[in-house]
């Protein structure tokens, strides 16, 4: 946790913006720079900013999800969307697209759904790692105590 | 096109993800884990049949043609390895149900086992050099988790050595990949094989081949690079040691077979005398190391090193005969080694220690365990009617046919020394009178006995029905050494260069 009025104000304003941007990046993906991985990193950056500004306990309260489950679900969901191709006797990961783009979202196909899986997995893993590192003093108080005594 | 080749990979990935999601509901998670390993086993048994019937199976991910996309190739060697790997994983999962406490389950032990099998299967099937590196990383990450799960002091110490030395091997592998890409401009194995035939500077390919020998050799634990293995393998729970001994070093050996046997055949012919020298040195040093040890799992760990020498001998003979014999031996040793770890681990669990001086009298107390142990050690040493006899016989025959007298002689000698060293465990743990009162010791549970016993029975069955296995491995060895056939199956009849030129035009 970092006690700074400037950082906290910016973090509060930036969180919704970054989350929106991450979704934009996710949908922009596939053929343009962006995609699930970049979007996921952006979203987790928004959450990690909360961890730095307000501490891990607050960050957990802002978005109440189990990040590990989120990552596992992302992997599951992503792996699933390569499978439909097998039913049509095409190689794994062959893409299917809808013909007309949906206004505001764009063309949707199995690669986009795969990207959603990647998006969730990346958010889950990076945020979980950041939270574990940030919560270390709370999880292992004995080590911190030993260090300060020295 | 065999698009089903991705199924075993995807099913394991989905299984691992679901097992994490349902981690709280213990029995649901266990069901998912057993289900996905069973699916993998059934699939790979079917693949054995499909490959024997229809030859090599190839699939291109996302429909991208061969030198550009990721190719999955399954030939006889792949199918054998996949089947044995999933069999061993299934047994390990069953053994873990009986031997591990709940804490492991809470920290995602079973998903890690699935990810280990995922990495191993990917490494067996991939037809792309860099993709092989990625699969190695997947299985290494899973194994890093498995070896340190539990977090005792000894485990962390062993885990650190394991991680650091394996990363050195990985870096060498990555450097090798970069150099190959720089020299021949492709990473698809079939395309590399094709372009290497017309390369202008053959010297640099020999250098690259030596880097790969170092990289895969350090994973497979060949002579100068094996030291990480005996210092780390006895620290995690028995189930983890067993699955590591069955899968990890063998992936290194398989990659040596694939990269040298199929892709870099010219380099294999250059390096063959050196590989044979490494092979017999590895056999001898491993077995001598085992003689000096006094701990069940440490003795078995040194034997892993010694047995890898035999697998490398099959490669060093540099012929389809040698590769077939090496495959037969490797498949046998994976099964037997894992079963010995299971049974030795059960004995260790009874006494609460792995120090053979403090054990004893188990033949009277647990006769069934003792019988299976005895059958296991004669299989490892290579006595009929167990599978080990035929594994060694095939290797010795190939060695004699090609006049490799030194390595053949040492292989025979190592067999005798192996028997001697295993009899030491037999005498100390099972035969001698125990100093302590053994009647108060806990009985071995069925869950601890069954997986090891089943594997020993399979080894016996493979020995009795050896002709089927020998036929299959000679088919697999022929496919492994058939470079032109490999290129044609992956890239079509005109080869990869034709596809490449057509695409860039």
The β-bridge partners of B72 are B59, B126
Nearest CA in chain A to B9: A79
Spell out which residues of chain B touch residue A91, defining contact as CB-CB under 8 Å.
Answer: 1, 3, 6, 59-63
Query: Do residues B173 and B216 lie in contact, with contact meaning Cβ atoms separated by under 8 Å?
Result: yes
Interval B57-62 mean pLDDT = 89
Residue B91 has pLDDT above 60, yes or no: yes
pLDDT: which is higher, A92 or B81? B81
Q: Band the pLDDT of B399: cuts 50, 70, 90.
A: very high
Tell me how close the Cα of A133 comes to any Cα of chain B, in angstroms.
17
Residue A83 has pLDDT above 60, yes or no: yes
CA distance B325 to B331: 10
CB contact under 8 A, B17 and A90: no
CA distance B266 to B205: 9
Tokens of B485: 């056939």
Task: Write out pLDDT tens, residues B351-360.
Answer: 888 888 888 8
Residue B128 has pLDDT above 90, yes or no: yes
CB contact under 8 A, B17 and A76: yes
Interval B493-497 mean pLDDT = 88
Per-residue confidence (pLDDT) for residue B433, from 0 to 100:
82
Alpha helices in B197-356 (DSSP H): 202-220, 228-232, 238-256, 265-291, 296-316, 320-351
pLDDT, mean over chain B = 91
Stretch 2-61 of chain A: residues touching chain B, C-beta under 8 Å: none
Residue A131: give the domain boundaries: 5-149
Task: Write out pLDDT tens, residues B229-258.
Answer: 888 888 899 999 999 999 999 999 999 999
Number of domains comprising chain B: 1
Of A76, A85, A91, the CB nearest to B18: A76
Spell out which residues of chain A touch residue B18, defining contact as CB-CB under 8 Å.
Answer: 72, 76
Other CB atoms within 10 A of residue B243 CB: 27
CB contact under 8 A, A72 and B18: yes
Tokens of B116: 């280990």
CB contact under 8 A, A86 and B21: no
Query: Do residues B105 and B25 lie in contact, with contact meaning Cβ atoms separated by under 8 Å?
Result: no
pLDDT: which is higher, B174 or B351? B174
CA distance B95 to A90: 38
Per-residue confidence (pLDDT) for residue B45, from 0 to 100:
95
Q: Band the pLDDT of A150: cuts 50, 70, 90.
A: very low
Phi and psi (nearest 5°) for B237? -60, 160
Residue B165 has pLDDT above 90, yes or no: no
CB contact under 8 A, B62 and A92: yes
pLDDT: which is higher, B67 or B95? B95
Query: Do residues B233 and B297 lie in contact, with contact meaning Cβ atoms separated by under 8 Å?
Result: yes
Per-residue confidence (pLDDT) for residue B63, from 0 to 100:
80
CB contact under 8 A, A94 and B7: no
Interval B45-65 mean pLDDT = 91
Interval B2-17 mean pLDDT = 92
Per-residue confidence (pLDDT) for residue A148, from 0 to 100:
55
Residue B180: give the domain boundaries: 3-504
Per-residue confidence (pLDDT) for residue B357, from 0 to 100:
83
Task: Write out pLDDT tens, residues B299-347.
Answer: 999 999 999 999 999 999 999 999 999 999 999 999 999 999 999 999 8
CB contact under 8 A, A91 and B7: no
Q: Could you tell me the pTM of the whole model?
A: 0.94
Q: Is B17 part of the contact surface with chain A (CB cutoff 8 Å)?
A: yes
Spell out which residues of chain A touch residue B17, defining contact as CB-CB under 8 Å.
Answer: 72-73, 75-76, 79
CB contact under 8 A, B63 and A94: yes
CA distance B286 to B278: 12
CA distance A115 to B157: 39
Query: Do residues B37 and B93 lie in contact, with contact meaning Cβ atoms separated by under 8 Å?
Result: yes
Number of domains comprising chain A: 1
Tell me how close the Cα of B215 comes to any Cα of chain A, in angstroms.
29
CB contact under 8 A, A92 and B17: no
Q: Is B115 part of the contact surface with chain A (CB cutoff 8 Å)?
A: no
Tokens of B350: 């009874």
CA distance B381 to B370: 16
Interval A58-75 mean pLDDT = 89
CA atoms within 13 A on the CB side of B381: 18
Q: Is A113 part of the contact surface with chain B (CB cutoff 8 Å)?
A: no
Q: Is B58 helix (H, G, I), strand (E, B) or coil?
A: strand
């Amino acid at each position: 946790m970092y006690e700074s009025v400037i950082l906290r104000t910016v973090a509060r304003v930036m969180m919704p913006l970054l989350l929106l941007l991450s979704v934009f990046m996710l949908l922009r993906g596939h053929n343009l720079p962006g995609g699930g991985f970049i979007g996921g990193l952006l979203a987790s950056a928004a959450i990690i900013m909360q961890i730095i500004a307000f501490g891990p306990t607050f960050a957990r309260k802002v978005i109440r999800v189990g990040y590990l489950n989120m990552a596992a679900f992302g992997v599951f969901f992503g792996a699933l969307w390569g499978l439909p191709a097998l039913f049509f006797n095409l190689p794994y990961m062959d893409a299917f697209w809808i013909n007309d783009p949906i206004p505001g979202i764009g063309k949707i196909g199995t690669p986009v759904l795969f990207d959603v899986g990647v998006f969730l997995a990346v958010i889950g893993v990076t945020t979980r790692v950041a939270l574990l590192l940030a919560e270390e003093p709370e999880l292992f108080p004995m080590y911190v105590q030993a260090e300060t005594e020295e | 096109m065999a698009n089903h080749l991705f199924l075993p990979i995807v099913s394991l990935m989905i299984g691992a993800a679901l097992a994490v999601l349902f981690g709280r509901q213990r029995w649901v998670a266990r069901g998912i884990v057993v289900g996905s390993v069973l699916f993998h086993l059934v699939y790979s048994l079917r693949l054995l049949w499909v490959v024997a019937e229809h030859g090599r199976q190839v699939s291109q991910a996302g429909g991208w043609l061969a030198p550009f996309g990721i190719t999955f190739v399954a030939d006889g060697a792949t199918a054998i390895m996949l089947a044995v790997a999933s069999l061993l994983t299934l047994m390990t999962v069953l053994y873990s149900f009986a031997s591990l406490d709940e804490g492991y389950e809470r920290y995602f032990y079973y998903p890690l086992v699935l990810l280990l099998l995922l990495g191993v299967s990917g490494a067996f099937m991939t037809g792309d050099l860099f993709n092989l590196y990625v699969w190695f990383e997947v299985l290494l990450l899973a194994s890093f988790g498995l070896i340190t799960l539990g977090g005792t002091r000894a485990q962390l110490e062993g885990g650190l050595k394991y991680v650091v030395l394996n990363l050195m091997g990985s870096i060498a592998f990555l450097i090798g990949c970069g150099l190959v890409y720089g020299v021949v401009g492709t990473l698809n194995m079939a395309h590399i094989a094709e372009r290497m035939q017309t390369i202008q500077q053959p010297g640099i390919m020999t250098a690259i081949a030596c880097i790969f020998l170092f990289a895969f050799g350090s994973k497979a634990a060949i002579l100068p690079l094996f030291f990480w293995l005996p210092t780390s393998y006895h620290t995690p729970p028995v189930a983890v040691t067993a699955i590591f001994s069955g899968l990890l070093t063998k992936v290194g050996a398989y990659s040596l077979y694939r990269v040298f046997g199929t892709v870099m055949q010219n380099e294999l012919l250059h390096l063959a005398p050196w590989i044979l020298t490494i092979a017999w040195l590895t056999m001898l040093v491993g077995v001598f190391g085992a003689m000096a040890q006094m701990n069940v799992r440490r003795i078995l760990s040194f034997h892993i090193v010694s047995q890898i020498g035999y697998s490398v001998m099959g490669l060093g003979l540099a012929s389809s005969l040698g590769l077939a014999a090496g495959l037969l031996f490797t498949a046998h040793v994976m099964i037997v080694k894992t079963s010995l770890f299971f049974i030795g681990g059960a004995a260790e669990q009874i006494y609460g220690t792995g120090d053979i001086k403090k054990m004893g009298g188990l033949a009277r107390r647990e006769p069934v365990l003792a019988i299976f142990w005895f059958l296991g050690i004669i299989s490892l040493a290579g006595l009929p009617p167990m599978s080990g006899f035929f594994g060694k016989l095939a290797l010795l025959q190939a060695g004699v046919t090609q006049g490799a007298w030194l390595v053949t002689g040492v292989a025979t000698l190592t067999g005798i020394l192996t028997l001697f060293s295993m009899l030491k465990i037999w005498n100390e743990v099972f035969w001698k009178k125990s100093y302590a009162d053994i009647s108060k010791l806990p009985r071995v549970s069925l869950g601890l006995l069954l997986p090891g016993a089943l594997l020993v029975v399979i080894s016996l069955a493979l020995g009795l029905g050896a002709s089927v296995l020998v036929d299959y491995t000679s088919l697999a060895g022929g496919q492994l050494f058939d470079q032109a056939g490999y290129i044609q199956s992956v890239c079509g009849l005109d080869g990869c260069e034709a596809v490449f030129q057509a695409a860039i035009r």
